[in-house]
Structure 1
């Protein structure tokens, strides 16, 4: 298990830091059960990680390793559910998905599950795909789930079924000891050698450009210290409580409007998204008589390279302060927000994140959990966005109407995740009702913020599902 994956796995000794990612897929009809079984079988052969369990080592602080589950049964991971009320609504399905997200995995099995929810109004259905963050990040999970989709209601020839991976021999104590020792030696070597290379490179650059190098090295050191420094209490004292409960709500934003707003302001789509989140948090506080000048945001920075496998994590956490939305925002706020996000994205400490997380992975789980918890629980809002399919797709004979991720709260009051699909941007809001007393009101604030930022004559408006 990679260092970052191991940290995602190890911090869950604190249930508030659970890291399950949920993809919610609304369909215009019920998918064909035979096709679902066949497609899931193919999916687990294309991505063998979905057949692997995490096996720990009781005699070493080294992280678990992935082993093929000798008892793997795909039917265990696929559950068909019908909600108790006839003609259940989309929100009923979202409520069910939220309950799924709150539960832990059976760690003796592969860390994923799929629930197909039928009986929704107008014969619709929903698919809830939950995966542990140690298996994949959001981009990787989306790449894996793409193997479930087709470009037409009737799928074409998918080609021969890949061979199923053979289970390994049950690992004995010696094999686990060898694995643990190898990881520890490799991790120590990388931390030591990486640190030495950084020091040598800095010394060399000092000879050729002493002033610039001193400034850059100082900034890197400060950034690395800030990356690992406990964040303290959230900036919002009103939204400071945390619980294990999740509430899922959903907004649909016309993608053309979102792109047009970014184009008009000469900023990225991500900046408009982050501005809407900040505006919503500020508005929600003002309506309840609370002042919030700024909020602390955790946003993943994608570090995937061409050829990286969908499994595993390839991102680094960027934490930064964002001004809460003002009732009368300055005209240049999007430009200023773009500069702030660019500084966070190019933070020099992000280049050291792999080495830093390898050092964290060497520590016993309780220490890693405490350190990571100090970083994550001081966050007000987590936010992420990923690109989805640019055209309509189908799942086992049913058209996908909604495709949206719900990222884990992991210590934050709210996690807001945006995914672009076809001609829409779907925004999944995972809020903690212990922190957000009225999730529906906050969702309305976010819809209003998007509408204000993207309003353009002739285009259809933002809507909450």
Structure 2
């Protein structure tokens, strides 16, 4: 066992970290993963050895939650052993992407132990054509989406550990009130209009199923450029149209979808997981160019207000008390503020390797915690491709394959210039 006797002093657990830890009370933990699909010939034993060595050099991956007088801190685990975080699973035949995701999801929804750093890495062997996969699973309290990618960048060949961002001192009451009003306005205000009841909003259970679709990034960037927008806008409009078609199949006509879009703030501000949330109403009727323009306008108006800490962070102890008593989960099982959450992250623009083997694809997997949101979408760019993973409760959303086909078709259609462009 490796021992680290000269660990840096512990750092205070931020309000954001504490919020995610407090939310961990439902059937699905607040954890997410990035899956690396590695080319043929990958040596799992050598890869595990390298991964352990590199993880040991990243302070965040050596820190565990410790409760001390004055509040919890992230402190170095003096008995840290990378082997306790590394696992190997074998994929069932035919070893395709669906089979891979069926192996990964139970690992993502398996609770990380609190007596050690909150991450695990799972190698999956037996994929088609001699490929192997590696899933890096982390708790939201350890890192947000961007933070997880920074950790991943330090684990691949040629990567370097990123500097640890400072933690902000506790806010005073006046600053908290200002931040709360700003964050709530980005999320539609304290009394945002309620979305209609429907099959998308039902309390979820503990099981999840995932499906990934991908398309070339260049076409989506060109579409975004034509609309003076971002790739996130293109993804939102495609997801909205795919949902319209899915709900039409279910006999539930809609005219708009309301999505929650995570927005990363400035990590230098010291909020730990610097992620806010803005709500965006995505119209699903009319020409695509008009729908794009409406989404662009709303995102530009709300994004600056969402770049600060999220309401769950600003509320501090009040939110944690609500989570501990079950009030937050009660609300999330009945909320009608959102239909789903759609997140978009920018991964490495150039292909990377691990232990000398090419990483062919990167697949984001975020199952979402306990709520009445039966579907969540995560997009991640890598090496000129964009992968969008949809995670659902399979009992409440048995028609995931139909949604996947609709989303794939919409992403492809968005990349084709309309007549007159």
* TM-score of Structure 1 vs Structure 2, range by shorter chain: 0.7 to 0.9
Q: How many residues align?
A: 396
Are 1:191 and 1:359, in contact at CA under 8 Å, matched by a contact in 2?
Answer: no
Task: Look up the SS of the partner of 1:332 in the other structure.
Answer: helix
User: Which residue of 2 is the match for residue 337 of structure 1?
Assistant: 295
User: Which residue of 2 is the match for residue 317 of structure 1?
Assistant: 277
Query: Which segment is superposed worse, 42-51 or 131-140?
Result: 42-51
User: Which residue of 2 is the match for residue 347 of structure 1?
Assistant: 305
Q: CA–CA distance in 1 between the matches of 2:121 and 2:306?
A: 39
Q: CA–CA distance in 2 between the matches of 1:343 and 1:372?
A: 30
Query: Which segment is superposed worse, 3-12 or 102-111?
Result: 102-111
Are 1:101 and 1:246, in contact at CA under 8 Å, matched by a contact in 2?
Answer: no
User: Which residue of 1 is the match for residue 365 of structure 2?
Assistant: 406
Query: 2:18 aligned with 1:11, yes or no?
Result: no
Q: For each residue in 1:372-429, what CA deviation from the matched residue of structure 2 results, as whole angstroms up to 9, or x when unmatched?
A: 6625863321111111111111111221111121123233222211111111111111
User: Which residue of 1 is the match for residue 50 of structure 2?
Assistant: 39
Task: Look up the SS of the partner of 2:56 in the other structure.
Answer: helix
Q: 1:355 to 1:130 in 2, by over 3 A?
A: closer
Are 2:312 and 2:319, in contact at CA under 8 Å, matched by a contact in 1?
Answer: no
User: Which residue of 1 is the match for residue 353 of structure 2?
Assistant: 394
Q: 1:222 to 1:385 in 2, by over 3 A?
A: closer
Query: 2:394 aligned with 1:433, yes or no?
Result: yes
Q: CA–CA distance in 2 between the matches of 1:273 and 1:455?
A: 14
Are 2:186 and 2:305, in contact at CA under 8 Å, matched by a contact in 1?
Answer: no
TM-score by length of 1: 0.76
Q: CA–CA distance in 1 between the matches of 2:22 and 2:157?
A: 36
Structure 1: any 5+ residue segments left out of the alignment? 152-157, 162-182, 200-216, 458-465
Are 2:377 and 2:391, in contact at CA under 8 Å, matched by a contact in 1?
Answer: yes
Q: CA–CA distance in 2 between the matches of 1:101 and 1:35?
A: 24
Equivalent residues in 2 for 1:75-94 (5 A)?
75-85=83-93, 87-94=94-101
What displacement does 1:193 show?
4.7
User: Which residue of 1 is the match for residue 6 of structure 2?
Assistant: none
Q: For each residue in 1:108-161, what CA deviation from the matched residue of structure 2 results, as whole angstroms up to 9, or x when unmatched?
A: 22111111111111101111111000000000100110122236xxxxxx89x9
What displacement does 1:318 show?
1.8
The structure with the largest helix share of the pair is 1
What displacement does 1:226 show?
5.5
Decide which of 59, 64, 79 is 1:48's aligned counterpart. 59
What displacement does 1:454 show?
1.3
Are 1:300 and 1:318, in contact at CA under 8 Å, matched by a contact in 2?
Answer: yes
Q: 1:236 to 1:434 in 2, by over 3 A?
A: farther
Are 1:404 and 1:419, in contact at CA under 8 Å, matched by a contact in 2?
Answer: yes
Task: Look up the SS of the partner of 1:223 in the other structure.
Answer: helix
Are 1:227 and 1:349, in contact at CA under 8 Å, matched by a contact in 2?
Answer: no
Are 2:44 and 2:123, in contact at CA under 8 Å, matched by a contact in 1?
Answer: no
Q: 1:373 to 1:36 in 2, by over 3 A?
A: farther
Decide which of 369, 376, 385 is 1:424's aligned counterpart. 385
Query: 2:411 aligned with 1:450, yes or no?
Result: yes
Task: Look up the SS of the partner of 2:122 in the other structure.
Answer: strand
Decide which of 126, 129, 142 is 1:119's aligned counterpart. 126
User: Which residue of 1 is the match for residue 154 of structure 2?
Assistant: 147
Structure 2: any 5+ residue segments left out of the alignment? 1-12, 162-167
Q: 1:333 to 1:322 in 2, by over 3 A?
A: closer
Q: CA–CA distance in 1 between the matches of 2:277 and 2:366?
A: 14
Task: Look up the SS of the partner of 1:347 in the other structure.
Answer: helix
Q: 1:302 to 1:406 in 2, by over 3 A?
A: same
TM-score by length of 2: 0.83
Q: CA–CA distance in 2 between the matches of 1:226 and 1:237?
A: 20
Query: 2:175 aligned with 1:194, yes or no?
Result: yes
Q: 1:222 to 1:406 in 2, by over 3 A?
A: closer
Task: Look up the SS of the partner of 2:207 in the other structure.
Answer: coil
Computed over aligned residues only, the root mean square deviation of the Cα atoms, in angstroms, reads 3.4
Task: Look up the SS of the partner of 2:172 in the other structure.
Answer: helix
What displacement does 1:437 show?
2.0
Q: CA–CA distance in 1 between the matches of 2:362 and 2:409?
A: 21
Q: CA–CA distance in 1 between the matches of 2:119 and 2:311?
A: 26
What displacement does 1:438 show?
1.1
Are 2:280 and 2:295, in contact at CA under 8 Å, matched by a contact in 1?
Answer: no
